[in-house]
Amino acid sequence: MNMSKTLLALFAAAGLCLAGGANAATGSKEARDQAIKSAEATYKSDKAACDALKANAKDICMEEAKGKEKVAKAEANAAYEGTPKARESARKARADATYEVAKEKCDDLAGNAKDVCVKEAKAAHVKAVADAKVDRVAADSSTTAMQKTSEARKDAAEDKRDADYKVAIEKCDSLAGAPKDACVKDAKMKYGKT
């Protein structure tokens, strides 16, 4: 499995893991407050479990615990508010948490492999945030919103293409001489860079 597929699988799995907790909120303030208290209690428990680990495994565990709490709180707030902006914030919190865990996992690598891993994590983050923004803009059904949705989709596509380009260029850094030049040229052509 290549690094891109590994990171995509990681983002999908982390998104599922981090999504739990706040979904029980039904739009009431009490349900939101209870979900937040539950997230805080779960964080304390998860953090205590991380104390038994060492080195980067402990760092990864801590990022997972922090991310899980932030996502649960954001989802509780999104369920309470019920607005496209709140749902976007919850998706962004999930993307941020997943990104932080992915970056921490990249610390187990070295050299160009680590650099590529970090760029791929960033690219996945950019894509998730861009998609969340497009969905928020698309949730508004007015005529101006349709124009804004089109613009948001265009911006998202550009952001995603730029992120993929950065990954491709980073992969070229493992090469030297003519192969590196060819790799950079191919990346520029593929992603419309001059």
3-state class of 50 per DSSP?
helix
> What is the distance between the alpha carbons of residues 86 and 81, in angstroms, rounded to a whole number?
7
pLDDT tens digits, 98-154: 999 999 999 999 999 999 999 999 999 999 999 998 888 877 666 576 777 788 888
Single out the residue of 75, 62, 66 nearest to residue 35, CA to CA.
75
Q: Mean pLDDT over residues 175-188, rounded?
A: 92
Q: Let me know: does 189 contact 171? Beta carbons within 8 Å.
A: no
Domain count, the chain: 1
Query: Cα separation of 12 and 187, whole Å?
Result: 26
CA of 84: how far to CAs of 115, 119, 136, 139, 187, in Å?
35, 29, 5, 6, 36
Mean of pLDDT over the chain: 85
φ, ψ of residue 20 to 5 degrees: the values are: -70, 165
Which pLDDT band holds residue 32 (cuts at 50, 70, 90)?
very high
Task: Give the model's pLDDT for residue 149.
Answer: 77
Asked whether 8 and 117 are in contact (CB, 8 A), the reply is no
pLDDT in tens, 91-112: 999 999 999 999 999 999 999 9
Position 26 pLDDT exceeds 50: no
> In the prediction, which pLDDT does 9 show?
45
Q: Would you say 98 and 14 are in contact if contact means Cβ atoms under 8 Å apart?
A: yes
Over residues 79-93, mean pLDDT: 93
111-138 helix and 3-19 helix, angle to the nearest 10 degrees: 50
Q: What angle do CA 145, 150, 151 make, to 5 degrees?
A: 95
Which range marks the domain in which residue 21 is found?
3-190
Work out whether the CA dihedral 110, 112, 117, 121 comes out positive or negative.
Answer: positive
| Lowest-pLDDT choice from 33-37, 69-73, 95-99, 154-158 | 154-158
